[in-house]
Amino acid sequence: MFPVRDTIPSRSTPVGTYVIILINAIVFLIELSLPEPVLQHVIRVLGVVPQRAVVIWAYEGFTVGLDLWIWPYFTSMFLHGSLMHIVGNMWMLWIFGDNVEDRMGTARFVVFYLLCGVIAGIVHTVSNPASAVPTIGASGAISGVMGAYMLLFPHSRVLTMVPIGFYPFFFDLPAPFYLFYWFLLQFISGTVAIASVGSQATAGGIAWWAHIGGFAAGLVLGPLMARRRPQRVLQPDEWGVEAAWWHGR
């Protein structure tokens, strides 16, 4: 199921969402300009390498080696491995990020986004400690945005496209249903990956448990960082989009 749009327009300009998308696009263009050996070195240095982090934790400690292991958890969020990778991630951020930012404000949203990305990376490291493969991408942070959206906008709906053969079919689904379905797929895939590959929590190049960790972080941090709105009684003609806004609290 591919999400096309949600039903709630943003009430303010989502500056933070736009800036995050722009930074990711600029970084990806820079990646495309690099020679392959240089690009691979950049990915290894700036990506999350679980084995490297675990070795630093074991021999240096969390605080002593902080400058060595923490930065990849931030920089990896802005690197992508292919055009489809970045387009898919930025599309999900475009759909769900503006509303979450609207509830948090730009500054809180950016902090929330980064925290979810870091937590997702750490969950991936803990679940896959022996991996020497660099992990990159914004999907962990965006999973956090999706988790927050599910709780903050329980009455929203998502227009979803399902291709059947050559024909696209469109369904209007409740946002919590779509997001829970997405989370369930990540959980099942992550569990199968661990069961089939032993200690490895990735399969097919996808860090499933980073998605799960980011989503869980969004569920916890989203309501805590959202701003409260004054309550009022809705008029009969406001049930719909307005109801999704005022009851998605």
> What residue segments make up the domains of the chain, in order of their start?
2-247
- Contact at 8 Å (CB) between 214 and 117? yes
Highest mean pLDDT: which of 27-36, 69-78, 119-128, 207-216?
Answer: 27-36
Predicted TM-score (pTM) of this structure: 0.84
Whether 198 has a pLDDT exceeding 70, the answer reads no
> Cα–Cα distance between 5 and 67 in angstroms, integer?
40
Q: Considering Cα of 129, then 80, then 60, then 113, what sign does the dihedral take?
A: negative
Locate 153 and state its tokens. Answer: 């906008």
Q: Which residue has the higher pLDDT, 72 or 57?
A: 72
pLDDT at 200: 52
Lowest mean pLDDT among 30-34, 40-44, 155-159, 244-248: 244-248
> What architecture does CATH give domain 2-247?
Up-down Bundle (1.20)
Average pLDDT of the residues of the chain: 84
Whether 63 has a pLDDT exceeding 90, the answer reads no
pLDDT at 208: 81
pLDDT at 204: 46
pLDDT at 203: 47
Q: Phi/psi of residue 34, each to 5°?
A: -85, 145
> Cα–Cα distance between 123 and 146 in angstroms, integer?
17
At how many degrees (to 10) do helices 139-152 and 106-127 cross?
A: 120
Q: What is the pLDDT of residues 179-191, one digit of tens each?
A: 998 888 888 877 7
Lowest mean pLDDT among 33-37, 40-44, 67-71, 241-245: 241-245
The mean pLDDT value for 162-169 works out to: 80
Q: Which residue has the higher pLDDT, 120 or 165?
A: 120
Classify 77 as helix, strand or coil: helix
Q: What is the pLDDT of residues 93-141, one digit of tens each?
A: 999 999 999 999 999 999 999 999 999 999 998 888 888 888 999 999 9
Highest mean pLDDT: which of 41-55, 72-86, 201-215?
Answer: 72-86
